[in-house]
Amino acid sequence: MQNRWPTIVACAVLALGCGKKTPVASSDGQVEFTGGFIEISLDDEEEDLDQMFGSELMMATAKCGDLVKLEPSAMMGKLKDGEIRCLDTQLRDAERQTVKDKISRVLLADAWAKGDEHRWEGIARRHLEQIDRSDPDMCYKFSLYLSKGPAEKMDEAMKWADVALENRSRWSGDLHVKRVYSLYRLKAMAAQKKWTYLEEEYVKDPSEEILSTKDETRNQTKTLSREWLEYARSSGKDPTVALQLCISAAGTAEFCDES
């Protein structure tokens, strides 16, 4: 599934128009960026999204069949409709959250392996909203998945990225740095995607409501890109794209200078 989604290319539409720009060096040697298309690659995260599902299956209840057969069947997307209905029923009827969690993860694995994105999205949303939101990996995966969708889902993508960051202490070492950097990047990308959409909507319908929401989203993009930039600098990651987006949204390089 490595090519499940194409690389996201987000266009930051500015008052001067939307065109592809490149950073240029000013006379004092500092990088300047005039705005335009900002390309943000999430290739590493897309690969993670597939790899992380194989290890998530846990024991479900025995009422729905032989667990030894259910687990590999779910991993291969081969649960039968009757088994899925049975597990759904057991999940709803279960009183302990730990039991719900285990059944939900089996259903998640099956839906993902089948490529049934609509069903997987519904199960994942139910899992995080009703069962458990303390797993930063689950929040990360759901946020990443939503970020591939239309602009209308960007607020939810940013929400679950924030929840993942709240539980970042469960990661350690290089994985901690990689995940946190990815989440800051994801939030900034999602905000830009929403901003771009609103810019396009404003061209079609220049109403005060859209103008206000558009300006708020641009400010949100400015703030989130600055957060991404600061983490990139502090963690030793390449800050180039974060800096470009920060200047694009802020309209000035001064806002994005190192403190």
pLDDT of 248 strictly over 80: yes
User: Lowest-confidence range among 42-51, 77-86, 217-226, 245-254?
Assistant: 42-51
8 Å CB contact between 60 and 87: yes
User: Lowest-confidence range among 25-34, 61-70, 192-201?
Assistant: 25-34
User: Lowest-confidence range among 55-64, 105-114, 215-224?
Assistant: 55-64
Reported confidence tier of residue 129, pLDDT bands at 50, 70, 90: very high
8 Å CB contact between 171 and 135: no
**Do β-strands 31-32 and 24-25 pair in parallel, antiparallel, or remain unpaired?**
antiparallel
Tell me how far apart the alpha carbons of residues 43 and 26 are, in angstroms, rounded to a whole number: 32
Burial of 29 (0-12, 13-18, 19+ CB in 10 A): exposed
Reported confidence tier of residue 171, pLDDT bands at 50, 70, 90: very high
Give me the helix-helix angle, 173-204 and 154-166, nearest 10°: 160
Q: Which tens digit of pLDDT belongs to each residue from 225-244? A: 999 999 999 999 999 999 99
- Candidate ranges 52-56, 75-79, 88-92, 169-173; pick with highest mean pLDDT: 169-173
When pLDDT is averaged across residues 187-204 and rounded to a whole number, the result is: 96
pLDDT of 130 strictly over 60: yes
Q: List, in order, residues 6 or more apart from 69 with CB less than 8 Å away.
A: none
Give the angle 156-160-164 at the CA atoms, nearest 5°. Answer: 170
Reported confidence tier of residue 115, pLDDT bands at 50, 70, 90: very high
Instruction: Give the per-residue pLDDT at 28.
Output: 54
Average model confidence (pLDDT) across the chain:
83
pLDDT > 90 fraction of the chain, expressed in percent and rounded: 65
- N-to-C CA span, the chain: 41
Nearest to 48 by CA among 232, 182, 185: 182
Strand partners, 24: 32
Give me the helix-helix angle, 208-235 and 173-204, nearest 10°: 160
Q: Which tens digit of pLDDT belongs to each residue from 5-61? A: 433 333 333 333 444 444 444 555 555 555 555 667 776 666 666 555 433 333 445
User: Lowest-confidence range among 29-38, 78-87, 148-157, 240-249?
Assistant: 29-38
